Amino acid sequence: MFSAPLVCLGVLLFPPMLSAESFSGDASGRLFHVQGSNTVGASLMKNLLVGYFQAQGVADIDVTPSLVANEYRVGGTINGRFVYVDVAAHGSSTGFQALLAGDADLSMSSRPIKAAEVARMQSYGDMRAFEAEHVIAIDGLAVIVSRANPLTQLSLDQIAAIFSGQVTNWQQVGGEDLPINVFARDDRSGTWDTFKSLVLRKRYTLSAQASRYESNDELSDLVAADPGGIGFVGLASVRHARALRVSDEGTAPLLPHKVSVATEDYVLSRRLFLYTPPTLKTAAIRDFVHFVQTDAGQKQVERTGFVSQSLTAIAAQKVRQGPLDYLQATEGASRLSVNFRFSEGSASLDNKALHDIRRVVDYMQRQENQHKQLTLVGFGDANDSDSRALILSKLRAVAVKTKLHKEGIKSQPVEGFGAYLPVASNSGKGKLKNQRVEIWVK
């Protein structure tokens, strides 16, 4: 059997190399079968599996495409035995369907699991639990145009009007007199689900004139070649197109750059997931999912073009803006590339935040950081009164402080700034994005 993941004071340690006997899979040598998101499966899953095989001492590693588009096998040999993982990347919904049908062991998704999917899979355990839901990378959903298009930014409402067919010429949004051609992902795509949820919301429907594609890369290349084209893709698939700055009501327009995506301040940032049913999880899957969370796994995330969850400190002058009290609280500090967020309708840290606690512990236990001090800064949403928003923002910072203290990491007294500095509109899911805790170090 595979060894269980090692956790020490919140620090993720990579398990020792496995023996050939334990790294053998089923009778054919298959370790597990992965299905789901094309965003995750096109390149990221491939690179993660190759990195994992390399770390375990597998030789002659090869990626073999299937006769079916967007399917492949990653395999290699260990002590003369062939081992492999099969991957099919046809959209997030297909991954959950495959889990339910018993045709996959692990599901890739570029959106959170839906309530209806959780209900259908309740016999597998709680699919939203920490043991089942794994954030593996952060992505910025890029709204892209051709480099021949001089426009640089759009609001969410303008983007929604374009994709719904209400705006059909670039001149209507400040561009040139040129018809707009709309490119969109297909209905099975988690990228489409995210775009529909964050941009179209329940107020708009996609134009019947939109061209639909299963592949991010294909869509991106078609937009890049069309001066009137516009589309949306995962960050790793911008390729030869150009990403626009995007703003929401009350927020500054931002590009999907590494820092704004890592902190999820960019309005179209999103999380990429693996889902593993707790009742079906094998030792092989536990070890692979654990590898993905390590620095080695997150380097593969970065290499693929997504944003890793490994922590970096950002110089204060590049990221500080806001009220005087906020500027004074963060004076001379650097911001860590993470925001802590909370489960919907709860004061509890969400699954990503629980992993991020471990990352902060690891960061602070490094020799060069042991003399540094942490400041936790909480924010809320404008749906509460000013006084309530202020109190809740401080309580969120206290929740993070308590978790860190249990791991032996001390921090300065918390700060709370209520509904200041929103990163999304307070309607719908934007409210959750605004309920966050920043972490500063000096």
Query: In CATH, what class is 6-134+272-304?
Result: alpha beta
Rounded CA-CA distance 398/379 in Å is 12
345-382 per-residue burial string, b: 16 or more CB within 10 A, e: under 16: eeeebbbbbebbbbbbbbbbbeeeeeeeebbbbbbbbb
Question: In the structure, what pLDDT confidence band is assigned to residue 23 with cuts at 50, 70 and 90?
Answer: low
Residue 8 is predicted with a pLDDT of: 36
CB 271 within 8 A of CB 251: no
The tokens for 379 are 């924010």
CB 216 within 8 A of CB 264: no
Query: Hey, where are the domains in the chain?
Result: 6-134+272-304, 142-255, 311-441
Digit-coded pLDDT (tens) for 213-268: 999 999 999 999 999 999 999 988 999 999 999 999 888 899 998 888 999 999 99
Question: In the structure, what pLDDT confidence band is assigned to residue 11 with cuts at 50, 70 and 90?
Answer: very low
Residue 123 is predicted with a pLDDT of: 94
Is residue 290 pLDDT above 60, yes or no? yes
CB 73 within 8 A of CB 85: yes
For the domain bounded by 142-255, which CATH number is listed? 3.40.190.10
CB 90 within 8 A of CB 77: no
Query: In CATH, what class is 311-441?
Result: alpha beta
Residue 114 φ then ψ, to 5°? -85, 155
Digit-coded pLDDT (tens) for 113-169: 999 999 999 999 999 999 999 999 999 899 999 999 999 999 999 999 999 999 999
Is residue 10 pLDDT above 50, yes or no? no
For the stretch 51-54, contacts whose Cβ atoms lie closer than 8 Å and that sit 24 or more positions apart, written own/partner, are: 51/291, 51/296, 51/297, 51/299, 51/300, 52/288, 52/291, 52/292, 52/297, 53/83
Residue 207 is predicted with a pLDDT of: 97
Where are the extended beta strands (E) located within 164-234?
Answer: 181-185, 211-213, 229-233
* Average pLDDT of the residues in 33-61: 95
Rounded CA-CA distance 394/376 in Å is 9
* 6-134+272-304 and 142-255: identical CATH topology: yes
Digit-coded pLDDT (tens) for 319-372: 566 778 888 888 889 999 999 999 987 889 999 999 999 999 999 999 999 999
Digit-coded pLDDT (tens) for 100-109: 999 999 999 9
Digit-coded pLDDT (tens) for 411-442: 999 999 998 888 888 776 668 889 999 999 99
Residue 233 is predicted with a pLDDT of: 95
Digit-coded pLDDT (tens) for 375-423: 999 999 887 788 998 999 999 999 999 999 999 999 999 999 998 888 8
